[in-house]
Structure 1
Amino acid sequence: MQEQEHLFFPQPAFPHYPCYPDYIGGFSGIPSHVVQRPARTTDLRLDQLYNLHFVLGGRGYVDWRDQRYELGIGDGFLYGPGLPQRYGADRDNPWDIRWVHFATNGLESMLGTRGMGEVWIFHMKEISKLHRCMEELLALGRAFDLEQEARASVLLYELLVHLMKEAAPIALPRETAVSSIHRAADYIRANCTVALTLADMAEYAGYSVPYFSRKFHGIIGKTPTAYLLESRVLLAKQMLVSTPWTVKEIASAAGFAQSSYFIHCFKRLVHMTPEQFRSHFKP
């Protein structure tokens, strides 16, 4: 039996959920289900969103770096924003698959570098928890109203927690720079409060500045300096809601030399001032 479902969630009224579904659905028994998207495609906003699939039955595949990975029940894959995407159903035994395209806001510490620079292919011995969360999300999407947007975020977060705790990666032949760049990204985030130069970051990775900058952008999807700035703003957001410190004190603690520059950067990235952001979380 051939079945497919496509459900779009409206943009949330509250802009600060840690994660939020954008487009969800499923395919079952459809041998023509084949997707080929170029890098940085704006199709379905996948230059900005993660794309998660997991297999409930049947067979399919993911193509990555001229190699095909056959997938079956319990397998899945995660593309980070901007990656090229090539996957499809087996023609003789097409998969029963569910997917969710989702946005994140400060989940980097949980997702880590999964799906950044290369597709993350995984296997789960027990897929029922993901399936349950996904079926609840689909039910919400079929009759959605704004009163349910917090529940949609919670269900997606629960799904991602199960995935991060229980999924085992399927090894891929890696570009030699990927591991070094991932370690450098972790180093930048862990040391964002100190004065890091581009040369410091490149030296930590063991590369020249031009090579490091090019590889970092290609694998992580943004420049090293942009990643450093986002790390500092993320830390500042956490301090704004968890401490009584002034904006000036938070700016300094987050690694900004001037509070005026901090406010400028925060407003550019978060689309509100630090004080406005803090007011959203006041009891």
Structure 2
Amino acid sequence: MTNDEFRRSFRVPFHNSLGLAVYSCGVQRCGACHSWGPAVRDHYLIHYVVSGKGTFCCGGTEYHLTAGDGFLVVPSKVVYYAADREDPWEYCWVGFNGSDAKRLMGQTGLLERSPVFHYDNDSLFEDLLTKVCNASGPKPSDEARMESGLLIFLAALMDQFGTPTQQHPSGFEYVQKAIKFIEYNYSSDIGITDIAASVGISRSHLYRLFMQHISMPPNEYLMRYRINKACELLETSSLSVGEVAYSAGFSDQLYFSRVFKKYMNTPPSRYTGYERAEKVKENRK
């Protein structure tokens, strides 16, 4: 990087919140012609241009953007963006996803219009995105503050571009009910058939709705939810690995250990939070 370029960013390694999770955030002054893509993201990503110029390409259309412009990247949509050669842009951004992400983005009005927007009344958008970035960190409290900041930013987008007549995407109410059923029953021996029956639709219909609205099949959501709960128990309780497994809805401890390692890249017995709790117990003896 040259002296006038900088990048400050934070990427969340694992998302404890499935409702709305910040994937990454940052502030960057790009070098001349600095670019990304053409490629796709697996999450929503919003950039807001603070100064300079750049180009954003999406859906066969090329947009030339300057300070006060913003652009939205949606999951699985091929995009390309690049800084101007003579006056490269500086922007701030936040990337996020989760079961509530599409509903909230629908309420901003940005999904139904051009993927670019403009706001130059004041520094509100820049300030809100900077606050999300300033809240970044590895602790659960940091993640909560990041999600809180993201919600405030999305609320500002709703105030500016949303309309009060917007409705939830078709079928999303079934996804909400299914998620609530999982939250209340994840520790029991439930499967996709039980979840589908709880909301009154077929397994195949439930699968289509989950893929449509949160880009994740229901069995994957259930598994991630259980692993998240297992992480919480390993970090905050004195339960054994076997007790954690049963508490999180796994009847087979070996299967739990195998799945946990797949998602967390470490077995539950060596998970950071669990090791810390074990050391505390040893020190108390």
| Fold similarity call, TM over 0.5 | yes
Given residue 128 of structure 2, which amino acid in structure 1 is its aligned partner? L
Whole-Å Cα distance in 2 between the matches of residues 55 and 215 of structure 1? 34
Q: 2:24 aligns with which of 11, 21, 24?
A: 21
Question: What residue in structure 1 maps to residue 147 of structure 2?
Answer: 160
Q: 2:174 aligns with which of 154, 165, 180?
A: 180
Alignment of 1:46-195 (within 5 A): 46-47=41-42, 49-54=43-48, 79=74, 82-84=75-77, 98-101=92-95, 113-115=100-102, 121=108, 126-127=124-125, 129-133=127-131, 150=137, 158-165=145-152, 167-168=154-155, 169=158, 170=162, 172=166, 174-195=168-189
Asked if 1 retains the 8 angstrom alpha-carbon contact of 2:38 and 2:80, the reply is no
Question: What residue in structure 2 maps to residue 236 of structure 1?
Answer: 230
* Residue 196 (str. 1) matches residue 194 (str. 2): no
Cα 1:56–1:134 change in 2 (3 A) is: farther
Q: Figure out how many residues of one structure are paired with residues of the other and give that number.
A: 243
Cα 1:180–1:78 change in 2 (3 A) is: farther
Q: Please report the RMSD computed on the Cα atoms of aligned residues, expressed in angstroms.
A: 5.3
Query: In the TM superposition, what whole-angstrom CA distance separates every residue of 1:102-156 from its partner, at most 9, and x where no partner exists?
Result: 6xxxxx8xx651237966637999546424436769xxxxxxxxxxx94899877
Question: What residue in structure 2 maps to residue 252 of structure 1?
Answer: 246
Asked if 2 retains the 8 angstrom alpha-carbon contact of 1:129 and 1:162, the reply is no
Asked if 2 retains the 8 angstrom alpha-carbon contact of 1:78 and 1:120, the reply is no
Asked if 2 retains the 8 angstrom alpha-carbon contact of 1:21 and 1:153, the reply is no
* Residue 276 (str. 1) matches residue 270 (str. 2): yes
Asked if 1 retains the 8 angstrom alpha-carbon contact of 2:175 and 2:210, the reply is yes
Q: Secondary structure of 1:230's match?
A: helix
Given residue 131 of structure 2, which amino acid in structure 1 is its aligned partner? C
Cα 1:36–1:117 change in 2 (3 A) is: farther
Whole-Å Cα distance in 1 between the matches of residues 268 and 139 of structure 2? 26
Asked if 2 retains the 8 angstrom alpha-carbon contact of 1:236 and 1:250, the reply is yes
Query: In the TM superposition, what whole-angstrom CA distance separates every residue of 1:167-195 from its partner, at most 9, and x where no partner exists?
Result: 43435555311232233223323321122
Given residue 262 of structure 1, which amino acid in structure 2 is its aligned partner? F
Whole-Å Cα distance in 2 between the matches of residues 158 and 273 of structure 1? 29
Cα 1:238–1:75 change in 2 (3 A) is: same
Given residue 130 of structure 1, which amino acid in structure 2 is its aligned partner? L
Unaligned runs of 5+ in 1: 28-34, 65-71, 89-94, 103-107, 138-148
Unaligned runs of 5+ in 2: 17-21, 31-35, 60-66, 82-88, 111-118, 281-285
- Length-normalised TM-score, structure 2: 0.59
Cα 1:86–1:186 change in 2 (3 A) is: farther
Question: Which stretch has the larger CA shift, 172-181 or 189-198?
Answer: 172-181
- Please say which structure displays the higher CA radius of gyration: 2
- Length-normalised TM-score, structure 1: 0.60
Identity across aligned pairs (percent)? Answer: 19
Cα 1:251–1:96 change in 2 (3 A) is: same
Given residue 77 of structure 2, which amino acid in structure 1 is its aligned partner? P
Whole-Å Cα distance in 2 between the matches of residues 215 and 8 of structure 1? 37
* Cα shift at 1:212: 1.6
